[in-house]
Amino acid sequence: MSHLKEEKLLWQKGFSNIAGIDEAGRGPLAGPVTVAAVIMPINFRSTKIDDSKKLTAKQREYCFGLICEKALAFTIIHASVTTIEEINILNAVKRSMVQAVRKLTSVPDFVLIDGMNINVPGIPQKAIIGGDAISQSIAAASILAKVSRDLLMVDLDSKYPQYGFLEHKGYATEKHIAAIRRYGPCPVHRRTFLKKYGYFHSKLPDRTSQVTLEETLLSLGQ
């Protein structure tokens, strides 16, 4: 269960529209990165809402519905693979976070962000490392982002069933890496990620190179 310590301090200072922001899909080898921003009502509490990584798929789906029902406002932004390739993953996340805040139908008077600062002039903010585990607002955003991205990856699985996106959602599992080696990358693979970790070679790598590459790709997906 995420806590309301940060929110309570802000409520005491007079802030009422506190937006939580988080992302899902920063590390995978395929698919978009998804950002969500959400404003929950003052004093809203739920023992169900927590860091999305700590919840089962069924628990996340339940919380997704609860958050959508109770939220004062929320937005979900998907940054495409093209965007990730053009401006890099960090800039894609930051730009999507700014877009998510600006598209909220209720203007936040404070923003809590998981792990990074963003450029939103006129709105005070606080970046919290591991915020999805200690702030209910950020945890709610993490759930919206995770569930939305997972649904997109399910759709992509129907288009590219050979890669197993339904199972791993684009992360660097052994099955995923084997599929990339067998079929090559598809249009939704992040080629900059694969290049950075040595996937593309003019010649097939020897077994030593293959083992090193696979270990590196697997570590990226953790």
**Residue 22, annotated ligand binder?**
yes
Say whether both 191 and 106 belong to one domain. no
Supply angle C-alpha 24, 200, 84, rounded to 5.
Answer: 30
Token reading at 92: 């894609």
218 vs 222: CA distance, rounded Å: 7
Say whether both 10 and 107 belong to one domain. yes
70 vs 95: CA distance, rounded Å: 26
Say whether both 142 and 198 belong to one domain. no
Say whether both 124 and 25 belong to one domain. yes
55 contacts: CB under 8 Å, gap ≥ 6? 63, 143
Domains identified in the chain, total number: 2
Query: Mean pLDDT across the chain, nearest whole number?
Result: 89
pLDDT reading at 210 higher than 90: no
Does pTM surpass 0.75? yes
Say whether both 108 and 182 belong to one domain. no
Say whether both 134 and 189 belong to one domain. no
**Residue 155, annotated ligand binder?**
no
What is the domain extent for residue 166?
160-220
pLDDT at 86: 97
- Among 156, 173, 195, give the residue marking a domain's end: 156
Average pLDDT on 119-136 reads 93
114 vs 98: CA distance, rounded Å: 13
CATH number, domain of 80, equals 3.30.420.10
pLDDT at 172: 92
101 contacts: CB under 8 Å, gap ≥ 6? 19, 21, 37, 75, 108, 111, 118, 120, 123
174 vs 11: CA distance, rounded Å: 46
pLDDT-derived band at 197, boundaries 50, 70, 90: low
Say whether both 48 and 60 belong to one domain. yes
